[in-house]
Amino acid sequence: MHELSVAADICRAVAEHAAGRPVERLTIEVGALSCVNPEALDFALDEVAEAEGVSLGQWTIEPVPARARCACGHEYEAENLVEPCPACSGFDREYVAGDTVLVRQLIVVERNDEAD
Amino acid sequence: MTKRIELEKIVIDKGDEIALANRRMIEEAGVLALNLIGSPGCGKTTLLEHTIAALANPADGSPPLRIGVIEGDVQTTLDRDRIRRAGAPAAQIETDGACRLDAAMVSRALTELDLDELDLLVIENVGNLICPTGPKLGEHLKIAVLSTPEGDEKPAKYPAVFALADAAVFTKIDLLPHLTYDLDRAAGDCRKINSRIRVFPLSSVTGDGMDDWTGYLRSARAGLVAEHEAPGRPAS
Ligand SMILES: Nc1nc2c(ncn2[C@@H]2O[C@H](COP(=O)(O)OP(=O)(O)OP(=O)(O)O)[C@@H](O)[C@H]2O)c(=O)[nH]1
Ligand SMILES: [Mg+2]
Ligand SMILES: [Zn+2]
């Protein structure tokens, strides 16, 4: 269950970036090659946020498939990694996305009246 | 008055920064680091025992290479002790339940090894073909290890580690006569998943295929040293 430690990293990073401002919403992208399970992460976020007293607002977890860039120039979402490029049927490609977990969107609320 | 602010996106891998620091430290000592990933019992430690011996006394008269090992297991120091008996310095990480190593664990283990006395550092991850795929530890090369008894369809079924690996080692080929295992299928699927992957079928027991593997390590290490010594190399 490495999702627990990923959830802890997310809580820590969000708290750091929010710097005391209430978090309103959060969109988390989970790349298919990261071997993090979105459902397990959702469950782990509940647990960790509560245990650490961090408020994450409303969160959404979006699974992101691996993205391949083929030598033919075509870029596509690779669902099945043993299937060839749909444009040229070749396998000479690079994975350009889908190997990370990231907080794509983090919206916090700032009170202007307390700023001065 | 309140307003909503959207902050910049955050890549979640606190390990990445630590991994980069690990790698810098390893590289400054002229050491090439590998991250070995494969299921429990696929033969990672056995491969290391034989690699240590082969690189310490190269049959072809090339200069010896010194290997240091960081062993990752859920518990025990058994694998560390095996590596020490094979004649190499080793440190053990016991993850206490965690299914994979992270860069912080490796950073602590590094304090137990004298990098200046090494040419290669091998980090044997916790036995697991899936979970260790993501986290960077500070390695130069990610190596997927798969044993023939596990079956030739494993690259297709568990593609992520093969997609991200620099090389795949197929261990225990001495067992092929007893198995229905198609080496070409396993290697072919690896190359479909990752056209740049290097594939090394070998047997630690008979020594078959070991020369190609040690040759690969030797040239990767030489490449790293050359890159470091080249004056005014372009920043990539
Ligand atoms: N026949 C045969 N057996 C092997 C070979 N390599 C390893 N083995 C056997 O496979 C078993 C497991 O080997 P290990 O090297 O301990 O496997 P490991 O991947 O380090 O295991 P964990 O650290 O527990 O994940 C042992 O009984 C080895 O003797 C090989 O090339 N051929
Ligand atoms: Mg082992
Ligand atoms: Zn193509």
For position B27, which CATH number holds?
3.40.50.300
Cβ B205 under 6 angstroms from ligand 1: yes
pLDDT band for position B13 (cuts 50, 70, 90): confident
Written as one letter, the residue type at B144 is A
Please report where in the chains the tokens 């997609």 appear, as a residue.
Answer: B163
Number of CB atoms found within 10 A of residue A63's CB: 15
Token representation of residue B67: 């290997």
What average pLDDT does this structure show over B58-75? 94
Does A3-108 carry CATH code 3.30.2320.80?
Answer: yes
The pLDDT value recorded for residue B62 is 87
By CB atoms closer than 10 A (0-12, 13-18, 19+), residue B235 is: exposed
Residues B36/B126, Cβ–Cβ less than 8 Å: no
The pLDDT value recorded for residue B9 is 83
Interface predicted TM-score (ipTM) of this complex, two decimals: 0.86
Residues B52/B67, Cβ–Cβ less than 8 Å: yes
Is A24 at the interface with chain B, CB within 8 A?
yes
**pLDDT value at B231 more than 80:** no
Token representation of residue B187: 């290697």
Residues A30/A40, Cβ–Cβ less than 8 Å: no
**pLDDT value at A103 more than 80:** yes
The pLDDT value recorded for residue B10 is 83
3-state helix, strand, coil in chain B (%, to 5): 40, 20, 35
The pLDDT value recorded for residue B38 is 98
Residue B219 counted as domain residue: yes
Domain enclosing residue B105, as ranges:
2-226
Percent of chain B with pLDDT over 70: 97
Residues B119/B30, Cβ–Cβ less than 8 Å: yes
The pLDDT value recorded for residue B235 is 45
Cβ neighbours of B4 in A, within 8 Å: 24, 107-110
Q: Where are the domains of chain A?
A: 3-108
Residue B233 counted as domain residue: no
Written as one letter, the residue type at A42 is D
Is A77 at the interface with chain B, CB within 8 A?
no
As for how many domains chain B has, the answer is 1
pLDDT band for position B232 (cuts 50, 70, 90): low
Q: What is the pLDDT of residues B125-173, one digit of tens each?
A: 999 999 999 999 999 999 999 999 999 999 999 999 999 999 999 999 9
Q: Find residues 192-231 of chain B whose CB sits inside 8 Å of chain A.
A: 192-193, 195
What average pLDDT does this structure show over A62-77? 96
Q: What is the spatial order of strands in the sheet that A66-70 belongs to?
A: A75-78, A66-70, A93-97
By CB atoms closer than 10 A (0-12, 13-18, 19+), residue A27 is: middle
Q: Which of A47, A106, A49, A97 is nearest to A69 (CA)?
A: A97
